[in-house]
Amino acid sequence: MLDHHIQKAIVYALAFSDAMRFGELKPDELENKAFDYHLKKVVKAGLVEKTAEGLYRLTSEGKRVGISASRKQLERLDQARSTLLLAPRRASDGAWLLMRRKAQPLIGLRGFMNARPTAEQQIVRTAEQVCREQTGLAGMFVVHGDGYFRTYRGGELESFIHFTLLVCNDIQGELHQNSSLAEYYWDTDPDWLAPDMLPSTQTLRKMLAAPAGSSVDERFDI
């Protein structure tokens, strides 16, 4: 799908933006002709499209590739991506730790933080490690539920995940911003119905209010 490191770099760069101009995408050291060749390749592959205003942006398929374009082996886009969704909460005032996405897919939307499970580590340890590394906060996570979320934009699949929901009801520490992919913040009274909230967040909130062990399989259209 992506045969050259320049093509991967194009998709990766666009994962952090709604759209970019040719000059913003092209590395200074690369000639226009060479860069245009690779740009046309990712357009032909259906990962990037050119708007009427002359800007380049990721297609729905390109958004699903997103930052994973930098990996040596890309995931199959028709299979669910395994994800840990973390719901840390401060015991002192009940504030939730939420984040705003800074990369595709679903850039700009808010919700719970996420992490990628690995074969080398139990998922509760991964949740604790990622939370500590990205926010400076520490606590013990427990599994609360799981399921599948499919998110469509304009009828096209933009995100497909198989998730495990983990919760920590007594997260400790001072919040730091250590991630290039998300901005974290505390919210004592989130508006779960806000238009810039990830649509799946409402379902996750209901799962958190119910006893542990629930499983869901839902589709969202935005």
Q: 104: closest CA among 31, 153, 154? A: 153
Decide: 110 and 100 in contact? Cβ < 8 Å: yes
Are 38 and 99 members of one domain? no
Are 129 and 154 members of one domain? yes
Residue 213 has pLDDT above 60, yes or no: yes
Report how far residue 188's alpha carbon sits from residue 50's, in angstroms, rounded to the nearest whole number. Answer: 41
**CATH code: domain of residue 202:** 3.90.79.10
The reply to whether 22 falls in a domain is yes
CB proximity list for 119: less than 8 A, separation 6 or greater = none
Which of these three, 38, 70, 102, is where a domain ends?
70
Are 186 and 124 members of one domain? yes
Pairing of strands 110-111, 96-101: antiparallel
The reply to whether 199 falls in a domain is yes
Are 46 and 153 members of one domain? no
pLDDT, average across residues 9-29: 92
The reply to whether 76 falls in a domain is no
The reply to whether 19 falls in a domain is yes
Could you list the residue range(s) of the whole structural domain that residue 40 is in? 5-70
Per residue in 26-41, pLDDT tens? Answer: 998 889 999 999 999 9
The reply to whether 75 falls in a domain is no
Per residue in 173-204, pLDDT tens? Answer: 999 999 999 999 999 999 999 999 999 999 99
Are 116 and 191 members of one domain? yes
> How many structural domains compose the chain?
2
Per residue in 38-57, pLDDT tens? Answer: 999 999 999 999 999 999 99
The angle subtended at Cα 129 by Cα 127 and Cα 131, nearest 5°, is 65
Report how far residue 59's alpha carbon sits from residue 62's, in angstroms, rounded to the nearest whole number. Answer: 5
Are 115 and 35 members of one domain? no
**CATH code: domain of residue 50:** 1.10.10.10
The reply to whether 54 falls in a domain is yes
Helix (H, G, I), strand (E, B) or coil at 196: coil
Are 48 and 139 members of one domain? no
Residue 122 has pLDDT above 60, yes or no: yes
Are 37 and 139 members of one domain? no
Give pLDDT, residue 69.
79
Give pLDDT, residue 95.
98
Are 156 and 89 members of one domain? yes
Q: How confident is the model at residue 64 (pLDDT cuts 50, 70, 90)?
A: confident
Are 17 and 121 members of one domain? no
Q: How confident is the model at residue 75 (pLDDT cuts 50, 70, 90)?
A: low
